[in-house]
Structure 1
């Protein structure tokens, strides 16, 4: 069994004018308290409590604030806040009620302040129904919840944790390892070997890579121009929109990666271990800026939790030279072009090969050779990968602070 945490999204059925006003009051009070605690540089829950105690918020929101602000200050070193933080509540604050006899089956109780709560009908993602029923039945543990508004509609994100079958009872040698190479040209490339040991059925998400590169270039260009004009707020809002589009691409691609794995008998998805990669990267200011914001860790996380939910195990391997070694003879070579691998061994049949597919096969082979482990040294890497973001992981609904943050109308 594997413990899996997932974000469930519920769309609140349009509240009446009175309840809309109450939700806005909660949102405004939360924003004010969060900003005040952040401006005060609160590094502990006690310091945050001294700031937020007098705000007209339920204790569930205050307690969530007290836990979150020190993270922003001491862990993420955030320089500023977004304007659209969702309202956080600790796990005790939210209540669910299931009425299967009604046209709208689900209802949520949202805290407003200490002695006042709002009961609202909600529409969950149909694909998450079993999770929601597990939470309601007590078979899954409810975590923190977040309330926010998007396109004039109110949404609620609820984290839930439950045990799922991980399918790990098979021996490693009985598994079919699928190498997952994450890069900048092809966002993700997957490949595995057939029964005869030949690389087979490679799949590349090159168009997705182009889309993400275009969106990120647009973001940087627009941000510089807007900052020169002193339009910081517009730059932040515009950036949120573009990052939301990138997240949509990430969710689609990682979902398709898991679907690929489902088509293979007894699969195991094999990823490169990314520990310490950020510290070991030094490609110059321009490339570092691009690669540090590429979102490798986010892609890893999304593949992992979506795979585990389907009962597909995920392993990591040492990434040393996975993009430089020939998958056929093991000779260390070079890439004359971004998408081309050229083997220098004249006796090797490979010659030139698609570089990302070559890397994916090497990653899969590391699992077969028993190298499923974390990297031992910080500089033991040759790949341009990083899990950082360009902004601190604040809890804007357009930012990905957690592995399960969602961006579409429903959670993925």
Structure 2
């Protein structure tokens, strides 16, 4: 069995004016609390709690802020101001599901509003994710953080879910074919593996997709700043959401094709770079650190993981140190005269110049072949001592978490919690 994490998307169905107002109030209070804690430069959960405790939010939203704000204000982010319209986050168990299969709309979701009040709203689910939603409802999957946001007048809820998935491969580690997966800005993803004669074969690069994502990100930051100067906040929101949706579409297509590539290889194992080391090794200028931390490493990793697990393909991670700097043929350090070119410094090496991202992918695969791998489940948290000073499961900070159901009009076709 392998623990797989997936994000489920729920589309809230036409909240009535009362529930729409309550959702907007929750979002406004969350944004105000986030900005206040960020402006106060809260680097610990205790400091964040001292700020957000006064806001009219549920304990689940406040605890999510206590985890999130120290990340924004800590050394790992390097942000001077908040640019994005951040979604409302809730810690695990903040969201609850109900299933009424006899109704036209089967699924209902409970969204916390404040300490003693919540909203039940019917929702549409992605048919491809129905099995996962049923696993959550049956307590066969663990619900993690959830995010509430509005896009083009429609409210959505993204719920992170973890469940055990059976890995079908009975192949031993020594018999597997490691496929190196290099993620970057030039080529969004590059994969390659070695054949039986140890020669690199069938490299595949998603370079055009990398250009597309870079263009969309540049367009987003340029256009939104221009619109913000003119006070067009609603246009900023809808325009930005449209661009990020395009990026998400690219991510999903590329990660699906990565897994399809792996399926074409005998006894595959996908090898990713350990994100812990990637984050720790980012030590450029403040601008570059912020830019790279905003890059989609984590999202691409997560999508590859759960899509591979659904196909029974194992995934491992390795330390990425120097995978882009050494030659895959001789092991000597080289240089990058151009973004896409690696040049070996060893005059006796046959490589000379090589495609840089392919060279990195081969090195990533070779790290696994050498016996180095880090299973995700075996790594421990790297939280700083003293940071974890509060409940993270939605336990109350400032008051009881009891709630009463919203008195909505019952409709036979939609069920008890209909808007």
TM-score, normalization: structure 2? 0.72
Q: What do you get for the CA RMSD once the two structures are aligned?
A: 3.9
1:22 aligns with 2:11: no
**Alignment match, 2:4:** 4
Listed as ranges, the matches of 1:313-392 within 5 Å are 313-319=314-320, 321-323=322-324, 325-328=326-329, 330=331, 333-334=334-335, 337-341=338-342, 353-372=354-373
SS in structure 2 opposite 1:27? helix
Q: Is the 8 Å Cα contact of residues 78 and 286 (structure 2) preserved in structure 1?
A: no
**Alignment match, 1:390:** none
Q: Is the 8 Å Cα contact of residues 12 and 121 (structure 2) preserved in structure 1?
A: yes
For structure 2, the 5+ residue unaligned runs are 376-419
**Alignment match, 1:202:** 203
Q: Which has the higher contact order (CA 8 A, sep 6+)?
A: 2
Q: Is the 8 Å Cα contact of residues 271 and 315 (structure 2) preserved in structure 1?
A: yes
Listed as ranges, the matches of 1:22-101 within 5 Å are 22-42=22-42, 45=45, 48-49=48-49, 51-53=51-53, 55-74=55-74, 76=77, 79-82=80-83, 84-101=85-102
Which range moves more in the overlay, 176-185 or 75-84?
75-84
1:203 Cα deviation after fit: 1.2
SS in structure 2 opposite 1:370? coil
**Alignment match, 1:171:** 172
1:95 Cα deviation after fit: 2.1
Query: CA 1:40–1:104 in structure 2 vs 1: closer, same or farther (change >3 Å)?
Result: same
Q: Is the 8 Å Cα contact of residues 226 and 234 (structure 1) preserved in structure 2?
A: no
Note the alpha carbon deviations across 1:274-294, whole angstroms, 9 max, x for none: 555566567778877765654
Note the alpha carbon deviations across 1:105-137, whole angstroms, 9 max, x for none: 111122334454322211111111111101100
Tell me how far apart the structure 2 counterparts of residues 279 and 64 of structure 1 sit (CA, whole Å).
23
Query: CA 1:147–1:362 in structure 2 vs 1: closer, same or farther (change >3 Å)?
Result: closer
Tell me how far apart the structure 2 counterparts of residues 151 and 142 of structure 1 sit (CA, whole Å).
27
Query: CA 1:358–1:42 in structure 2 vs 1: closer, same or farther (change >3 Å)?
Result: closer
SS in structure 2 opposite 1:191? strand
For structure 1, the 5+ residue unaligned runs are 375-412
SS in structure 2 opposite 1:92? coil
Residue correspondences, number: 373
